[in-house]
Structure 1
């Protein structure tokens, strides 16, 4: 990898090829899940008069796109970033699972939209550094948009927190396993600025002492990351199978799951020595 370009170096192709070779079984299964999810995509047809189906279809598309992004990052050895994306997929799929069970969750998403935009614009207007950067016309536009939101969505005035509580939705949707494993672990060791996340940038010697910093492709936690991504996509496929009544999907998913489980414990995987 070029020292001047980092992960943007054209030389990274060599690292990608090596990681794909060393972890071929895991990439193979992950791509099998992706192939199934792509075959399902045309069958996630939302009735235009059903907010539940429209929102669920959008969530499924978002989850699948992010799943593929996680695989692209993983093959480049950008494990913390891949896991951060997996965390985003997990949140999307938890919401998807909740929407599939209860159309009323769509109203919570509208509430989140209003809460976010009202909170953000109020913050701008109360931040002297922000207002100093805005022209009078821009300030007036922010105030106008805020007033329109408060008229269109009066509930926005009383919302004091994000209406979408991921843990609550996970429990209601029956996917707490997804929340407690993938969502929590990827939050703690990748998405958040934590010691576990920062440890990925620290190089230690055989005694566990700090030997320096590291920056570059890594295969550490690659099977675990792919396994977490696979798990999340499996939950997404279950959600759309029920809501859109996709024939044969559960059987096809079971075949993919069997291939995944046959790989064994992700953390125990060791690449074959060439």
Structure 2
């Protein structure tokens, strides 16, 4: 039994996938690492005004997008094709919000509303679970009070805001990224929700469609598509944060973007 058979993806350099990717996709990986290096250092150049909620939220969204991007790259480098694509879908949501905020600073009110809605739902479910299990204890009473408070806050805000605008597709439209929603985000749905089509990737069948074996090993398939798409989203995040801070003419990001577009046009996957 080899190390991967014992440890799975936790093994160091599972099935030597790191070396294979380094050799097979050396130029792609070099570009991705350059983009990461710039994006990483650029986050420390953001100095939001403590009184400017848009700048504060945007800076936080940029940081979240950057770390999620790095997670995509780490998983892809270890051959975790499906898991890296799951994180790519999460990265999309952060960038949708960031670009929507850049296009319309007033979008922050909807994001606040979304936060209130998530908060209310969390307490609703906790109370429901406690009721289902007959646990009317101290935590139950506290959760009920917090739930009722969250309900009031939502009712108050609904008088001035349309909650239908909280969907991911609406956010993508506000971001000017509807094409990304209809492609990358839609494709990621099957993977992240363990759809049948995605699960079938683990099965090898014969000509008669009988299952011969199970596959759950490191893969370089779609490596370039995944890491280059993630890099494209980070470039979008950089330009969004620049717009929020009123900066223009980011020559280094523009040059990286041009090189990325060329790589996307000539990818081998």
TM bucket, shorter chain: 0.7 to 0.9
CA shift, 1:48, in A, is 1.2
SS at match of 2:74: helix
Q: Deviations over 1:234-256 (max 9, x none)?
A: 2111211212234542x222321
Q: Does 1:136 align with 2:137?
A: yes
Residue 156 to residue 121, structure 1, CA distance change in 2 (3 Å): farther
Q: Which residue of 2 aligns with 1:224?
A: 225
Structure 1 residues 156 and 192, CA, compared in 2 at 3 Å: closer, same or farther? farther
SS of equivalent to 1:211: strand
2:264 matched to 1:261?
no
Q: What is aligned with 2:42?
A: 40
Superposition deviation, residue 263 in structure 1: 3.0
Please show how residues 227-266 of structure 1 align to structure 2 within 5 Å: 227-246=228-247, 248-249=249-250, 251-263=251-263, 265=265
- For the aligned residue pairs, the C-alpha RMSD in angstroms reads 2.8
Query: Is 2:142 the counterpart of 1:123?
Result: no
Structure 2 counterparts to residues 1-274 of structure 1, below 5 A: 1-10=3-12, 12=14, 14-127=16-129, 131-132=132-133, 134=135, 136-155=137-156, 164-188=166-190, 190-204=191-205, 210-246=211-247, 248-249=249-250, 251-263=251-263, 265=265, 268-269=268-269
The alpha carbon displacement at 1:175 in A equals: 2.1
Q: Which runs of 5+ in 1 are unaligned?
A: 270-274
More off after superposition, 102-111 vs 77-86: 102-111
Per the TM alignment, residue 32 of structure 1 is displaced from its structure 2 partner at its CA by: 1.6
Decide whether aligned partners of structure 1 residues 161 and 201 sit closer, same or farther in structure 2, where only a CA change above 3 A counts.
Answer: farther
Unpaired runs of 5+ in structure 2? Answer: none
Structure 1 residue 140, shift from structure 2 partner: 0.9
Alignment length (residue pairs): 266
8 Å Cα contact 1:67/1:89 also seen in 2: yes
Moved segments of 4+, more than 6 Å: 156-162, 206-209
Alpha-carbon distance between aligned partners in 2 of 1:134 and 1:216, rounded to the nearest angstrom: 44
CA distance in 2, matches of 1:84, 1:65: 14
Q: d(CA) in 2 for partners of 1:212 and 1:106?
A: 50
Q: Deviations over 1:78-109 (max 9, x none)?
A: 11111111111111101100111212211111
Q: Deviations over 1:154-198 (max 9, x none)?
A: 43789996752221122223222332232222234x222223321
Secondary structure of 1:217's aligned partner:
coil
Cα drift, residue 267 of structure 1: 5.9
- The Cα offsets for residues 138-167 of structure 1, whole Å up to 9 and x where unpaired, read as 211111211232344443789996752221
Contact 2:228 2:264 in 1 (8 A): no
